Amino acid sequence: QVQLAQSGAEVKKPGASVKVSCKASGYSLTDYYLHWVRQAPGQGLEWMGWINPSSGGTRYAQKFKGRVTMTRDTSMNTATMELSGLRSNDTAMFFCARKTAGRGFDYWGQGTLVIVS
């Protein structure tokens, strides 16, 4: 069955970078766009951007442009999101989510908690 398995929790210092990985199983990563969404404590869901794993093309939310980089390794069926210049208000749960055309985000990773302190 389709699963997205994310890497484990991270604790980072302000100014550092963090990489969160998302390994797809049960389907080929290149068949669907992969998005990243974050949720800060007490806040709602916030879209960060997407990667087209087939081409490597990306689109980032304006808020994160210049700080976020989304990549993929098709041989590992894995996508990675890197966020740099971390600040305390970047403390959040980060989710990867598969998007199926016309169906929204039908599969989500379990989430990765990133604490900046």
Partner 1 sequence: QSVLTQPPSVSGAPGQRVTISCTGSDSNIGAGHDVHWYQHFPGTAPKLLIHGDTNRPSGVPDRFSGSKSGTSASLAITGLQAEDEADYYCQSYDISLSGSDVVFGGGTKLTVV
The window from 10-18, 24-32, 55-63, 80-88 that contacts partner 1 (CB under 8 A) reads 55-63
Nearest of 50, 71, 45 to residue 61 by alpha carbon:
50
The gap between the terminal CA atoms of the chain, to the nearest Å, is 37
Residue 36: CB atoms within 10 A of its CB come to 26
Question: What secondary structure letter does DSSP report for 57?
Answer: -
The one among 30, 47, 52, 54 contacting partner 1 by CB under 8 A: 47
| Element housing 72 (H / E) | strand 68-73
Check binding of 94 to partner 1 (CB under 8 A). Answer: no
Check binding of 115 to partner 1 (CB under 8 A). Answer: no
Check binding of 8 to partner 1 (CB under 8 A). Answer: no
Q: Which residues form the interface with partner 1 (CB under 8 A)?
A: 35, 37, 44-47, 50, 59, 61-62, 93, 95, 97, 102-106, 108-111
